Structure 1
């Protein structure tokens, strides 16, 4: 139905594999075809990409991408597929893939070469970057202002890595989850909390005392958000990439369902509205991804 995808996403979501990991006894597609279940790891607190909503259900923009992948698998395998969502902590994402606890991870993951040694990445379907959440009126901004300061971050994330690189003389305080990081900032246990800018904005939108905090600093990193997959599963990765590219191409060409999905989360009346500059950056990321590929035929959209 479609050609295998050779993809490039902003130069850093590269599909190269350095690991000599053993080939799985069963590929993801074989497992899903046999069991009729796709097990997807996601986050419980990465609002608006992946989080537990007021009903305790895992929801978000990235969860919607997984649901599109589920539908594509149903078409390809010609059978119903049940989607099983599993909340995983950031530090457990890769180990959950390596031990086959999940078939794919879609939350707010971004590419690093260290991660690429163990897993593969899909194309990038969104864009973010590390920024700082501080108390309103704080003088913190650039790297020079962070010397000796306590910066909270989730362990084994690009946020932690970015802050260590930006200011080696800062004190990095690792927190268990985003709620703990926000609480530590409120209680004065840290001077700033480092996370993806769009996640920080989402956090403030649901916080009761948001007016006491502000997001500062130029982006300490610019990262494409994509799904993580087990290595040695090229056919499954093709399916994932095809699904994401079809979504992005549909969105950029004004297809109603794709525009509705995006705007439900990031539109002016969405759950976590983007500024025009942020929206333009996301669209530019999508265009750069698609410009490296042959467009999908209209009949596929």
Structure 2
């Protein structure tokens, strides 16, 4: 009997009624079944979304990824399915997906219209503003203050594109440095090699909160724009999209997403018990009430 995934999602259930038969599988689900392993792309320091906490990968997005893995196990009837993690960066995550080195990436990846040309994106899991973090003593409060100064962001991100566009359109003559990853970018700010680090607001709040001297830094600036994070997977794979979106939509409309948010953004998190004190925004509350996979740019 063929499993009715679409029907089960329509009634608000996230799991399949029965395991899928191997001969029915296509795309990513077939690859995972045949390999006997699901490969997750994870981040090393995208706090609190996907990061190494001293024992393993943890975070808001990582929890969602593991919920998806649980659904894959049910769908395939493989409760002992192996899970393998590969660390990715903003620059290499898409090539690794396209080269079949990872099957799913849930971290801090922005869903943009341009990226839809090469990859597929799930229902959005988080909405945020693009801002910057600077030293409080610098006196920097908004983006015009960066004119003629060295500014850092992370290579391969939508933030880099927004920052370079701002630089051109407003003739700010900023010297923009694109770091390999988020920790390298924040290190440039701390070492005074840049006056500001432009990045997703929750990411810079994460660095501020976990720094030894959080009082030295301020998150500031009129948002360059609003964007959404989503899980990323290969294009043209409707069965996998249906499974992933079913898990995310069910969690959001059932209230699990808000509880998960509070766990990672308003309570102490591992490994040092830091609290980001980043309350749920009205934009995210609306997103959870109305799951969708639309890019905001």
Provide TM-score, normalisation by structure 2.
0.83
> Counterpart of 2:72?
73
For 1:176 and 1:290, the matched residues in 2 are separated by: 31
Structure 2 residue ranges without an equivalent (≥5): 9-25
For 2:83 and 2:165, the matched residues in 1 are separated by: 38
For 2:275 and 2:103, the matched residues in 1 are separated by: 28
Change (3 A) 1:291 1:38: closer
For 1:232 and 1:69, the matched residues in 2 are separated by: 18
Q: CA deviation at 1:272?
A: 4.4
- For each residue in 1:183-224, what CA deviation from the matched residue of structure 2 results, as whole angstroms up to 9, or x when unmatched? 211221111011111011111111101111111102212111
> Counterpart of 2:180?
176
Q: CA deviation at 1:268?
A: 4.3
For 2:293 and 2:160, the matched residues in 1 are separated by: 31
- For each residue in 1:23-74, what CA deviation from the matched residue of structure 2 results, as whole angstroms up to 9, or x when unmatched? xxx611101122231101021110000011122x111111101110011111
Given that 1:263 and 1:269 are in contact with CA atoms closer than 8 Å, whether structure 2 keeps it comes out as no
Provide TM-score, normalisation by structure 1.
0.82
Structure 1 stretch 191-200 or stretch 73-82: which is displaced more? 73-82
> Counterpart of 1:236?
240
For 2:293 and 2:217, the matched residues in 1 are separated by: 39
Structure 1 residue ranges without an equivalent (≥5): 6-25, 293-301
What is the RMSD of the two structures over their aligned residues, measured on CA atoms? 2.3
Partner of 1:190, secondary structure, is: coil
Change (3 A) 1:186 1:290: closer
> Counterpart of 1:119?
119
Q: CA deviation at 1:291?
A: 12
For 1:172 and 1:4, the matched residues in 2 are separated by: 50
> Counterpart of 2:281?
279
Change (3 A) 1:49 1:291: closer
- For each residue in 1:114-158, what CA deviation from the matched residue of structure 2 results, as whole angstroms up to 9, or x when unmatched? 211111111101112211110103332333222212110111101
